[in-house]
């Protein structure tokens, strides 16, 4: 079995909902085992046992949620020293209120996490523009769920905005299945 770990933080449920949709996409790929975990509950062993890690964050002040950063620093940081994440597959998604269309920081939030993945030596999976749902719920870095309306009224991430997230989960799972167990990088 190829293992996909989905890590998220949430206050109001939007990022959790998106994590579950990403998980449903990953689960749809044969031979994939999926685990969805709140960022503060993830252990080093969870990460080591995974072939792919997908991290989802709410946009907070234009950057990742502090609990997601805590996961990166406290769980992934020690694994960086041991080179444990090199060659694992990494991907991201985000939700934001979206004031001013994509809002301040959806892209920066995902890029900040992908930057962390690059530090960790992970193989990053983007979101190609051919992905179903991309025009409403996609950025090239990963799916983006806008959780508020034009006047910042809370709409939640609506169904059409979730389609790209489901496909992202499946894309990442397929890449992980192809790469699992392979020695990709020279030492």
Ligand X SMILES: Cc1cc2nc3c(=O)[nH]c(=O)nc-3n(C[C@H](O)[C@H](O)[C@H](O)COP(=O)(O)O)c2cc1C
- Distance in angstroms (rounded) separating the CA atoms of residues 10 and 5: 16
CA dihedral 172, 177, 89, 18 (to 10 degrees): 30
Contact range with ligand X by CB under 6 A, out of 7-15, 31-39, 115-123, 131-139: 7-15
In whole angstroms, the minimum distance from the beta carbon of 76 to ligand X comes to 21
User: Scanning residues 128 to 147, which ones bind ligand X (CB under 6 A)?
Assistant: 147
String marking each residue 94-123 x if it binds ligand X according to CB under 6 A? -xxxxx---xxx------------------
Measured at the CA of 147, the angle between CA 102 and CA 160, to 5 degrees, comes to: 90
String marking each residue 39-78 x if it binds ligand X according to CB under 6 A? -------------------xxxxx----------------
Nearest residue to ligand X by CB is: 103
Torsion-angle region of 118 (φ positive above 0: left; ψ -120 to 50: alpha; else: beta): alpha
Tallying the residues shown for the chain, one arrives at: 187
Nearer to ligand X among residue 10 and residue 50 (C-beta) = 10
Number of Cβ atoms within 10 Å of the Cβ of 34: 23
In whole angstroms, the minimum distance from the beta carbon of 55 to ligand X comes to 13
């Amino acid at each position: 079995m190829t293992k996909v770990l989905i890590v998220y933080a949430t206050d109001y449920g939007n990022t959790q909902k998106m994590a579950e949709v990403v998980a449903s996409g990953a689960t749809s790929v044969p031979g994939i085992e999926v685990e969805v975990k709140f960022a503060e509950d993830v252990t080093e062993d969870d990460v080591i046992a995974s072939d792919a890690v997908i991290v989802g964050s709410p946009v907070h002040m234009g950057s990742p949620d502090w609990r997601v950063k805590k996961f990166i620093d406290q769980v992934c940081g020690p694994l960086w020293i041991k080179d444990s994440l090199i060659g694992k597959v990494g991907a991201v998604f985000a939700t934001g209120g979206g004031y001013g269309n994509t809002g301040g920081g959806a892209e920066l939030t995902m890029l900040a996490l992908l930057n962390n993945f690059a530090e960790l030596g992970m193989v990053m999976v983007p979101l190609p523009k051919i992905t179903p749902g991309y025009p409403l719920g996609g950025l090239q870095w990963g799916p983006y769920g806008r959780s508020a309306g034009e006047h910042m009224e809370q709409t939640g991430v609506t169904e059409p905005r979730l389609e790209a997230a489901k496909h992202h989960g499946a894309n990442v799972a397929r890449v992980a299945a192809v790469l699992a167990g392979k020695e990709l990088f020279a030492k």
